[in-house]
Structure 1
Amino acid sequence: MPYHGAVRVGGPAEVRELAHLMITKVAVGPMDNNAYLLRCRATDEQLLVDAAADAPTLLETVGDRLATVVTTHRHRDHWSALADVVAATGARTAAGRHDAEGIAVPTDLLLDEGGTVRVGQVELTVHHLVGHTPGAVVLVYDDPQGHPHLFTGDCLFPGGPGRTTRPEDFTSLMDGLEAKVFTLPDETWVYPGHGDDTTLGAERPHLAEWRARGW
């Protein structure tokens, strides 16, 4: 069955098979968070994007081996299961440098703009976006045999950017999205922190509308 990216809490995970990477999407917790398990097909090394909630479900998804957990931003609904997942797996933790202080579990690897995170032989590029939080990061996997894949946390959803608390934060987030994210091709698949997936091509026509609508 083809991947569609629509998952619900308590329902089955969705699995996407790429040439070099397996992506498993599962919904967890009272805020319907998405967590993404990435597995390098050459080495079987695994990386989890956002240990958001419901550690038992995440650990069942992960299995017996996990190398890294990346937290996309400091909001608690994206890391409330992090301590339990790390305790059970021994995985190292990674987060944006400017959000690490707001995450209760110590961060082993501080992420900066243009840096990389590896899962086996697969490399993910880090982009730092200021606005939803001071240190939010998004991850890009540029599939050499296909289109890019973008893990956006709460910075971008189907229908627009994530919420901000001040107009200047909204402007900063929009500036970052346009400069660092929407430079990718329309085929780029977007995996957000909540809800269904989208593509940059589906969202790009609405950039001016989002700017005009404001925060």
Structure 2
Amino acid sequence: MTGEARIERVVTSGTFSLDGGTWEVDNNVWLIGNDSDVLVVDAAHDAAAIMAAVGERRVCAIVCTHAHNDHIDAAPELARLSGAPIMLHPDDRMLWDMTHPDVAPDRDLTDGDCLSVAGAELWIHHTPGHSPGAVCLYAPSLSALFSGDTLFHGGPGATGRSYSDFPTIISSIRDRLLTLPADTVVYTGHGETTTIGAESPHLEEWLARGH
């Protein structure tokens, strides 16, 4: 008996670099799976730590919510250790190439794709704004959304750097995420979780921020 799908978190530490700046960051790496199979969301900083959490399980995919370096820097090494394919939306390929010019992702993610692990379906929502190819993974059976850096506890992801756009991220959140059930737990790329219901009332505040 391998059990139903569950969610585990690994926190890794490293740096985020873009536009000539570098910042220390802690990243959430999410594992979705059971006792035999697991899917990794965002291979950040430390492939060995991620593999330690995976244990003897088979990694069926390494899914990148976007290609900022802090979310993908350990992806090629994790792929080498696990044999799993790396998946990324093609609109973020230019960001990927800044970090990994000699290694390509294995598969493209597209809006509406469905990935399966341990009996759970994870639907890909293309949610540009933080980056052009940002995606979120929605798992209805787990009441879970893996939002990367699109939606956090307290608001949208940052849009002050290259390839980001505030009106676009607000549209993505309004049209693709706040339409999900209110009790959906949002598993973010950094920091604590939240819920769709907790964030929905603040949309007007976020819109006002953009003016």
TM-score class, shorter-chain normalisation, is: 0.7 to 0.9
In the alignment, is residue 162 of structure 1 matched against residue 160 of structure 2? Answer: no
In the alignment, is residue 196 of structure 1 matched against residue 192 of structure 2? Answer: yes
Aligned to 1:98: 91
Aligned to 2:10: 26
Aligned to 1:137: 135
Q: Percent identity of the aligned residues? A: 41
TM-score after normalising by structure 1: 0.84
In the alignment, is residue 57 of structure 1 matched against residue 41 of structure 2? Answer: no
* Equivalent of residue 39 in structure 2, options 33, 47, 58: 47
1:57-92 CA distance string (max 9 Å, x none) = 111011132111001101000011111111111111
Deviates more, 1:149-158 or 1:59-68: 59-68
Deviates more, 1:168-177 or 1:148-157: 168-177
SS of alignment partner, residue 59 of structure 2: coil
Deviates more, 1:188-197 or 1:100-109: 100-109
CA distance in 2, matches of 1:113, 1:55: 27
CA contact (8 A) 2:5 2:117 kept: no
Structure in which a larger fraction of residues adopt helix: 2
Displacement over 3 Å in runs of 4+: none
Aligned to 1:110: 108
Aligned to 1:10: none
Deviates more, 1:174-183 or 1:60-69: 60-69
CA contact (8 A) 1:40 1:121 kept: no
Q: Where do 5+ consecutive residues of structure 2 fail to align?
A: 15-24
Aligned to 1:5: none
CA contact (8 A) 1:40 1:122 kept: no
Root mean square deviation of aligned Cα: 1.9
CA distance in 1, matches of 2:34, 2:173: 27
Amino acid at match of 2:79: V
Q: CA deviation at 1:122?
A: 2.0
1:183-209 CA distance string (max 9 Å, x none) = 011101000000000001111111100
Aligned to 1:11: none
CA distance in 1, matches of 2:140, 2:198: 19
Q: Where do 5+ consecutive residues of structure 1 fail to align?
A: 1-18
Q: CA deviation at 1:174?
A: 0.5
SS of alignment partner, residue 43 of structure 2: coil
> How many aligned residue pairs are there?
192
TM-score after normalising by structure 2: 0.85
CA distance in 2, matches of 1:99, 1:122: 26
CA contact (8 A) 2:5 2:118 kept: no
Aligned to 1:36: 30
CA distance in 2, matches of 1:55, 1:92: 14
Q: CA deviation at 1:120?
A: 4.0
